[in-house]
Amino acid sequence: MSGNDKGHLVRKRYRSKPSREDFQFGKSSSKKENVLQKNISVKHDDDDTTSQQVVNRLKQTETERQITELGKQESLRRNDLLNITNQLQSYGSNVDHVIAETLKDEISQIKISLQEIRARRNALAAASMQGMT
């Protein structure tokens, strides 16, 4: 090939490129109408899916909030248990029998409360996991 032929090929290839307007939607002009039709149909299909995704996300967010709240309650109850146990130990052997029994009853109630909180939190977490699958 001569130098002249090479320049001719470059010009020819340049002229065959689509114009800038053809890339408005990222496709050449021959495909632009098809892309618009696909976008329209996809949007209709996605509306239901998007609504369902929003509802699912809201449910998941509410479940996460409830799990967090139960975790806070559990933490508070554990602190109560620790404080009462420390109070009982601080009395040592000088503690009144009635006070000791009252504190032990409170400890038992807190332990039951903790079990209930953990059970509810675990049930919510399990339900949340099943809802995601």
Q: Residue written as tokens 């065959």? A: 16
Contacts of 124 (CB under 8 A, 6+ apart): 63, 66, 67, 70
pTM of the model: 0.50
pLDDT at 88 (0 to 100): 80
Cβ(61)–Cβ(98) below 8 Å: no
Query: Structural domain boundaries of the chain?
Result: 27-132
CA 58 to chain centre: 10
Q: Rounded CA gap, 118 and 112, in Å?
A: 10
Helix (H) or strand (E) run with residue 128 in it: helix 97-132
Tens of pLDDT, residue by residue, the chain (133 residues): 555 555 555 555 555 555 555 555 544 445 555 555 555 544 545 556 788 888 888 888 888 888 889 889 999 999 988 988 888 888 777 777 788 788 888 889 999 999 999 999 999 888 888 876 4
pLDDT of residue 61: 87
Q: What is the pLDDT of residue 6?
A: 54
List the Cα angle 84/87/93 in 5-degree steps: 125
